[in-house]
Each structure stands twice: as structure tokens, then as C-alpha cells.
Amino acid sequence: MRVPWSWIAELVEFPTPQDPAAWEERFPMLGLGVESVDRTGDDWVFELETTTNRPDWLGVVGVAREVAAACGGRLRLPAVELLESDPPAREVAWVEVLQPGLCHRYVGRVVVDVQVGPSPAWMVDRLERCGLRSVNNVVDVTNYVMLETGQPLHAFDLDRLAGGGVVVRRARAGERLVTLDGQERALPQGALVIADRERVVALGGILGGQDTEIRPQTRRVLLESAWFHPVAVRRTARALGIRTEGSTRHERGGDPERARSAAARAAQLVQQLAGGRVLRGELDVYPDPEPARQVTLRPQRLRHVLGVEIPEPEVEDVLRRLGFAPRGDGTRWVVAVPSHRRDVEREEDLIEEVARIWGYDRIPQTLPVDVMAAGAVSPDLVAERRVREALLRAGLTEVLTLTLLHPGELEAVGIPEGHPLRDAIPLRNPLTRDHTHLRTTLLPSLVEVLRTNRVRGNLDVHVFEIGRVFRNSSAGWEERKVVGIARIGRALEGGWNLPPEAVETSFYHLKGTVEAVLEALHVPGWDLRPEGQPWLHPYRAASLWLGTGPVGWVGELHPDVCERFDLHGRAYVAELELEPLARAARTTPQYRPLPRTPATERDLAVVVAEGVAAADVVRAIRKAAGPVLERCEPFDVYTGPQVPAGHRSLALRLVFRDPSRTLTSEEVDGILDHLRQRLREELGAQFR
Amino acid sequence: MYERVEEVRRRALQELQAASTAEEVEALRRRYLGRKGEVTALLRSVAGLAPSERAAAGSALNALRDELEDSIRTRLEALRARERDQRLRQEAVDVTLPGRRPPVGREHVLGRTIEEIRDIFRAMGFEVVDGPELETEEFNFRRLNIPDDHPARDAQDSFYLDDERLLRTQCTAVDVRVMRERTPPMRVVTVGRCYRRDVVDSTHMPVFHQVDGFMVGEGVRFSDLKGVLAEFARKLWGPEARVRFQPSYFPFTEPSAEIAVWFRGRWLEIGGCGMFHPRVLEMAGIDPERYTAFAFGCGVDRPAMVRYGVDDIRLFWENDVRFLSQF
């Protein structure tokens, strides 16, 4: 809304001279945002951003009333003195409202013998300052009065209205209208329209029709000033993709009283600018007048809500300046709400009015006095934070990626047709072609992070994200948090002179990261099992099992996917469900006494067939050795001349300890003999 | 005899001086002081001397032996020190070569901001909670006093999944869920992702973060809202941060205000706030006569841009490690 200061100054009697420059700061403190200020000549034009609850601010009078209230001035509304002539308007034209629910009031005024022509310079200039183009003296008046009062008006050429009147009704199937902008539009059935005896002549409150517009030869004018239902106007405007000065104002809700006064004001100006005679009376259809509203205000409640003591005379003064009429004693006021403030419905609305004009900046800053429990973090967020910290400590960098994707991205990372992760929930109204569905996994976004970085020459990328994924399950739509990990490039920086396998990220680096996280969380009883996923290297993939089921997968990204994304190297990815991890995490681990007896270390080289997993050997050893075996760790894996073909030698370090006494060398040797025997029997192991 | 002792002495010391390894020195010790050594042999020969010469010769030879032993020890120490030094010298490293290290994990600058915000409110007695991103019109709009056909519900602004479900457009929906489940007093804050149908540019993304909080109690006042948010601003933006509250309009608060922080010479709008509209409390089953409540919602992404001097919001989502490692 563009408001020239010169227009405000015309409407307000200031108590002291005002500097318009200062109002750039003062408008916002009233709730009127200043988008920009234009200095044209000696005038200041403010582009004001008005809130949707204040339709009155879409007229200069409304803004002027606010300025007057804030600076203690007096509002001077333009005097409307109509010189009316016979015959009465109702003998010449008629108005019928078939939809009183959509049109609470329709006021028509008839002016005859007009001379349509250009507007005077002052009118053209003022319209231009407000961003409107001059059309002719009659149309300009409707726009001028709309800018002044906020009430949209329309002018019909009465001689072109079939039957000499208008009816407010809903559009029927198949009706069309050529609007003022020259476009022929198919009207949505049920849209609020203005029609004559034969056809639709205007889109109610939005745009007029070309057939009945004011033209140079127009002699008789029917002025329309109405209250249309905001929702009806909004729906039709949106359906047709039109937004006009009129529709914007109707959508915010009008004022039936203003509809009447604006019609008179427009008739007066038409007569003044285009000559002619205003016919006696108005065509006023207002079957169900709205009762005046009264709202109670308790000064004690005002104090209670705002936290500040405002003297009662000041409260009363503020309300009166805004056009409210408070009556009553010091404990309870009954406040009559003026028709232009239909947004004020209950006590809180009045409290805001008082606070606004008295000054938000004068309300002190206090801290709540309520006694409450100390702050806390919900348990799921505590667990999430611990997982995040563990990942950071494991050397991974946090990334954030968009929740929206295109299903093609799921296919591109190798998730096959028919896989549950391909069943992404679609947006009903996506904005762009690449953001049409909700992600089911973090994999596509994380692979994209790897690609973005590799393409830009950032070769070492170690990232994680804790994010939400959305899945379509039999139980409906599910939203859950997962941890995604992606690594590529060197796992060790500054690895000069080291062999590549010591430097480059491998499956075991990824596994180490996952282990570090599980250890940081004190998650007991997890297990990594060799299980593939279509998007992973078929022989370098595993599932993380927790309790009775898998809670995630880890592995090397399938070489085909790496190639498709130009990664130029092996990438390692994982995704873990956050909630099962968080549930299994021990937040308060319990102390176990440190051992006081010495440990005995032995190395054992076990030759087993290729298909026997290291975990199988460790498991068999643990089972056979019993609780005195404290640790059992593979430290070397060897295949070569000294090992039979199809076999490998696994070197393990075993640490034995009995917490109650010192084990003798002979005892440990005995255990080892037993171990060897069991490994021979169970795994067909040989010993070197 | 004197001449003989002197000659051995000179020769032994000369040879000792010439010895360059510990082994050579040990060999000299054997040659002069060993069981078959020259000095040992001379000492033995003292017995065959005339009694008048014995004492003098004996003491001269003993002095020679002591002197040689001392010299040998000293020489040995010097040689060992030199050898150790040579050995260590060969182990010299070039301290200017790069250190070996695993990658350093870094927080995303927005992730860090979110954690900071949570900590600030927790310290002020707020409970930090989380809520769903998949919302219903009921919680995202209706219970926030945003009726059907309100401009804020434009499908133009929200991502819908079906007739009733959408991606939340603000975190205030979480407030509604919490209020419905609990009884006052409450002091709760949430930080999370929200969604709007915005075209991507340097200041807009369809996904963004918001911090949203509220407090319900028997004596919660607008002045408390100002105090709490001013404290929040000081904690996040520094002790000199000034906060401005300007009248505004939100369907779910009355009075309503926009919050701005004075930072690096200009006002930065960070969000909206106000006293919960009595209708919102009523819909949550809270008696608005007995209880009052304040609520606020602030952006996270754009204030973080200003705070860290990031000029394009897309950098947050692009995840270039050269960007991420700067924070």
C-alpha cells in the first residue's frame, strides 16, 4: 500500500509539526511495516506493509487515523455534501441480491448526464503517487475513493446493463465474461458474479466486464460499493488466477458502513469531476444489518497480560483516539467497537490496541516469576545428541541435506524397482521437478554430497547426517530418524611414505567408525553379519544386528553406482536406524572393578579354510576357553606359500586372566591345548 | 725404570687419543692394564728390583695405572656419547613434514546453532522437545486459530501430501501437540525443520529451520516474553544485543509482535511472538481466564547467515567440505 505523506497531512490536524522522515521509524512501531520510502519533490511516499487483520489500513483514512492516534492529532474526514436530483435512483435502476450470504450489503448510486473525460492534474498526480494509472474521470473516482477509504468500487455504464440493473448471484455452468483486461474467461460455476437481466457483467469484487465499462460516450453511471464475502472473493480470484486492488481489499474483509459512505463520496466526486446529476437516494440492499459490537475490557486483565501498569485515563484516551467508545468504571469497561475495526472481537484484541499505541517499547523486560522445574531435554533428543557427538568424535563431518527428492535419485543409487525404499511418498503439489517426493533413505543425498565434493576436487570426504526419512508402510506413513554415513578418499591425512592401504578409506575404516559409535553409546550385544544390499558391493556388505533384527547396513558402495556418480574411487556408506540404537544405548554404564591379578598373553596362529569367518574362529575360541579368556583379537591374516591353498592363517592374540588368582603358565598351556583340539574338531583348523 | 714408565705413559696416552671407537679403547685397556698387559708386567717386575728402587718404582707404576684407568674411562665416555649422538642424528625427522591424522569431525554450522539455541533455552528452564515434520491441517492450522480459507493456508505456500496432511510450515504445531497432552505450567521449546513452497535462491530454500517455544502459567505476561527473548538474544548474539518488538499480526497470538535484533549496524528480523490467543488455549483444553501464555517462533538459517557472514543460503545445503570445515 503506497501512501503519500501529503495525503495523510490533509486528513490529520497535527498537534505539533511532524517530520515525515521520523515516520519511517514510527510506522513500524504501530504495526505498519515500511518496505520503502520514495521522496518525490517535497512529498514522501511510504510503501507500507499491512497485516491481513487490518483491512482499514488499505485506505489512507485508516492509516491517517492511526497516525492521529499515535501523535495525539485529530482526524479530519472529507465532508460529503451531496446535491441530489430527481427522479429517485430506484426509479431508474435496480439492485437485487440473490446471495445475501456472499454479499451482505450492496449500495448503488446513480449519476446521470456525466461527461466522461480526462481527470484534473491533481487527481492524476495523486493516483500516480499511489501507483495507479489514470483512465478517465469516472473510473479514476472509483479508484481514488478506494485508495482513500479502502472500499473498492465499480462503475457500470447503466445504459449497457440489460434491464437497467444488476443482480448479485452465483455463476451458472458455462457462463463466460470478457473482463476489463480484454481476456475472455470461463467462469467457475458457483463463483460470485454481478449480472444484468441477460448476462454476467462483472466478477464480484474482483474485476468488471468490458461490455459495461465506462467509455467516452457513457452518460449514465451506476456506482457499486458492496461488501462481498472474503472467502468467496478469494476462491474465485484464485481459481481464475487474478489479483486486483479490489480483490485484495475484499479478501481481508470489508465494512458495511463504509460501503455506504464510500458510495456517497464517489457520487460527490463524479459530480465534481464529470458533471451530471446524482439521483436521489441510494439503492441499498442490506437485509441483515450487523449489530454494533461491544467488547469488555478489564484494566486488571490488561495489567495481568501485559505486565505493566498503564494509568486508566491513558487507556481510555488511547481507545477513544482509535475510534472506540469505552463506558464504565475502573474495574470493567464496555467498549463499543467502530465498524471499521471488525477485527476487534475480544478483550485480548483491545489489550493489543492499548499496548500498540501506548508503545511496545515501553513495556518492561521481566523474567517469569512462575516456579517451575529446571530445564530438561526429552530422552530421544538426549540420545540423538549422544549419537551426533560420537560421530563427530569419530572424525565425521555433519551435513544437512534436503528432505525432498526426485524418485529417479533412488533408482540412480541402485535401489531396485519394487524395493520398499523406492516407495516414496509423493507431494501433491511439488514446486519443482527435482523435489517431488519425501526421501526414504539418506543414501541419495549423501552420495550426492560425495559427488559434489569429488567433482570440485575435494577428494577426502567423511560425512554423516542425522535426519528424518519417510516410509510408506502397511501401518501408514512413518517418519523416523536415521544416521547416514558416507566416506571416500584418505582416512589418514599426511600419510606420506605410507602404503596406500594404510591411508585410503576401506571397509574396515567404515566398520571402525560404526564400532566407535556403538562403543561410545555403550550399546551391548550388537553383531555385524555378512548380508548384502542391492546398492552395495556384493562381497563387501554387512547388516548391523541388534537383538533380534537388523537395524542398519554398512558396506562399500556398488562400483556401478560409484561410476554413475563419477566418484573415481571406492566409497563406503552406512545407514542406521537411530531409535533402536538410542533405546539400546546405556546412558549410565555401571562400574566394573579393575583387575588386580596379572594377565597372561599368548599368540595363536590358526589355519582355516577360506570360507571360515574370523568371527567364527573367535566365537569357537571364546566358547572353548570360558570366562578366563579376557580378550581375543585377530592381529594378522596371512595367505601364501606356507599355508595350504584355499586356506588362510589367522593370528590371534589371546589374553587370559582370572580375577581371583594368578594363572600358572601350565594352566594356560592346558587351556591352549584344549582350544586347539576344539578348533580342529569344530572348524577343521590346523596349527603352525 | 723412570724412562721406561714415562715412555709407556706417553705411548699409551697417545694411542688412547688416537683410538676412535670404544672397541679400540677396550683393546688398549687390555694391552696396558690387562692380565698380560704392559703396565701389569712392569708392576710384576718391581719385585725383582733392588730394594732401594722398589718403593719409588712401585708408586710410579701405580700412579701410571691409575692415570691410564682414568683416561680410559673418560675417553670411553666421550666416545660413547659421540656414538649415541651419531646414532640419534641418523634418526632425525623433518619436523616440517605434515602430521599424520585422521579427519577432524566438524559440526554443521546450522547443527551447531541449533544445539546452542537448545542449550540457551534449557538454561532458562525450558524443556527441549521434538515433534513430527509430517503434520495435519488440524495441528498446523486449525488449532492455531488459522481457519480454512485463511491466506496462510494457501496451498501455494505449503507442501501437501493429501487433503489433510502436509509438511509442517512452522514448529508452532509442536506447541499445540504438547499443550494438548500436558497441564500447565509448561515451558517448552523445539527446534526443527519446516517446509514452504519457496523457489530456491540465495535467501530461500523449501526447507528451513525454526525455533519455537511457549510458556503457560498463571502469571505469564507479555513483559516476560520480552525478557526471555531479550535474554535469548544476548546469549546468542552477545551481551550488547538489543531487541526490538514491533506490533504485528498472527492468528494465534494476541497481542502479537515481530522480533528484531540489532546486529552489525542494522535491525535483523528474526521472528514473531506474542501472547497465545485465548482461542488457541481453549482448543488445547486450557482455561484462558486462569492461564496466560506466550509463544515465539524464530528463524534459524537466516540469522545464522548474518551471524557467520554467509551470503548465500544454498551453501548450507551444498555441503562442500571446504565450506563445512570453516566452522
Q: What is the CATH number assigned to the segment(s) A84-285?
A: 3.50.40.10
Residue A373 has pLDDT above 80, yes or no: no
**Would the CB atoms of B207 and A403 count as touching at under 8 Å?**
yes
- What does the DSSP assignment read for A316-370? HHHHHHTT-EEEE-SS-EEEEEPGGGTT--SHHHHHHHHHHHH-GGGSPP-----
At A589, the pLDDT band (50, 70, 90 cuts) reads confident
- What does the DSSP assignment read for A151-166? --EEEEEGGGSTTSEE
Residues of chain B contacting residue A251, judged by C-beta atoms under 8 Å apart: 151
- Give pTM, 2 decimals: 0.86
Phi-psi category of residue A357: left, alpha or beta, with phi > 0 → left and psi -120 to 50 → alpha:
alpha
Helix, strand, coil fractions of chain B, as percent rounded to 5: 45, 20, 30
The CATH architecture annotation of domain A2-75 reads 2-Layer Sandwich (3.30)
What does the pLDDT average to over B299-321? 94
Residue A372 touches partner B, C-beta closer than 8 Å: yes
Residue A371 has pLDDT above 60, yes or no: no
Residues of chain B contacting residue A496, judged by C-beta atoms under 8 Å apart: 97-98
User: At B172, is the secondary structure helix, strand, or coil?
Assistant: helix
| pLDDT (tens digit per residue) in A56-95 | 999 999 999 999 999 999 999 999 989 999 999 999 999 9
Nearest to B127 by CA among B216, B237, B18: B216
Residue B234 has pLDDT above 60, yes or no: yes
Residue B57 has pLDDT above 90, yes or no: no
At A6, the pLDDT band (50, 70, 90 cuts) reads very high
Number of CB atoms found within 10 A of residue A651's CB:
15
Distances (CA, A) of A154 to A108, A205, A222, A262, B225: 10, 8, 8, 11, 46
Angle between helices A299-306 and A312-321 (to 10 degrees): 90
d(CA A526, CA A583): 13
ipTM score assigned to the predicted complex: 0.87
Residue A631 is predicted with a pLDDT of 94
At B155, the pLDDT band (50, 70, 90 cuts) reads low
Q: Which of A370, A464, A508 should one mutate to test binding to chain B, selecting the residue with the greatest count of B CBs within 10 A? A: A370
Residue B148 is predicted with a pLDDT of 81
At B223, the pLDDT band (50, 70, 90 cuts) reads very high
d(CA A80, CA B229): 49
Q: Which of B223, B258, B277 should one mutate to test binding to chain A, selecting the residue with the greatest count of A CBs within 10 A? A: B223
**Would the CB atoms of A348 and B255 count as touching at under 8 Å?**
yes
CA B226 to chain centre: 32
Tell me the three cell numbers of residue B62: 701405580
What does the pLDDT average to over A577-586? 89
Residue B263 is predicted with a pLDDT of 85
Which run of H or of E encompasses A377? strand A376-377
Helix-then-strand count for chain B, H and E: 12, 9
Residue A489 has pLDDT above 80, yes or no: yes
Residue A583 is predicted with a pLDDT of 86
DSSP class of residue B105 equals: P
**Would the CB atoms of B221 and A365 count as touching at under 8 Å?**
no
Residue B8 has pLDDT above 80, yes or no: yes
Q: Which of A26, A249, A353, A377 should one mutate to test binding to chain B, selecting the residue with the greatest count of B CBs within 10 A? A: A377
Number of CB atoms found within 10 A of residue A376's CB:
16
**Would the CB atoms of B318 and A54 count as touching at under 8 Å?**
no
d(CA A142, CA A308): 45
A residues 474-533 closer than 8 Å to B (CB): 477, 479, 491-496, 498
d(CA B88, CA B29): 27
Q: Which residue has the higher pLDDT, B1 or A297?
A: A297
Class of domain A379-584: alpha beta
Nearest to A108 by CA among A98, A94, A97: A94
> In chain A, where are the structural domains located?
2-75, 84-285, 293-360, 379-584, 600-687
**Would the CB atoms of B132 and A479 count as touching at under 8 Å?**
yes
CA A47 to chain centre: 26
CA contacts within 13 A on the Cβ side of A422: 12
d(CA B59, CA B9): 14
Class of domain A600-687: alpha beta
Cβ-contact A407, A422 below 8 angstroms: yes
The CATH architecture annotation of domain A293-360 reads 2-Layer Sandwich (3.30)
Residue B232 has pLDDT above 90, yes or no: yes
d(CA B212, CA B144): 14
Residue B42 is predicted with a pLDDT of 87
- What does the DSSP assignment read for A440-496? S-SHHHHHHHHHHHHHTT---EEEEEEEEEEEEETTEEEEEEEEEEEEESBSSBT-T
Residue A145 has pLDDT above 90, yes or no: yes
Residue B1 is predicted with a pLDDT of 72
Residue B45 is predicted with a pLDDT of 87
A600-609/A647-656 β-pairing: antiparallel
Contact pairs from chain A to chain B, CB under 8 Å: 257
Query: If you average pLDDT over every residue of chain A, what do you get?
Result: 94
The residue in chain B having the minimum alpha-carbon distance to the alpha carbon of residue A54 is B249
Q: Do the domains spanning A84-285 and A379-584 agree at the CATH topology level? A: no
| pLDDT (tens digit per residue) in A421-430 | 999 999 999 9
Residue A370 is predicted with a pLDDT of 64
Residue A591 is predicted with a pLDDT of 92
From the number of C-beta atoms within 10 Å of its C-beta (0-12, 13-18, 19+), residue A510 rates as buried
A residues 602-631 closer than 8 Å to B (CB): none
Residue A173 has pLDDT above 90, yes or no: yes
Residue A628 has pLDDT above 60, yes or no: yes
**Would the CB atoms of A375 and B125 count as touching at under 8 Å?**
yes
Cβ-contact A141, A134 below 8 angstroms: no
Length of chain B: 327
| pLDDT (tens digit per residue) in A629-659 | 999 999 999 998 889 999 999 999 999 999 9
| pLDDT (tens digit per residue) in A300-357 | 999 999 999 999 999 999 999 999 999 987 789 999 999 999 999 999 999 999 999 9
Q: Which residue has the higher pLDDT, A487 or B59?
A: A487
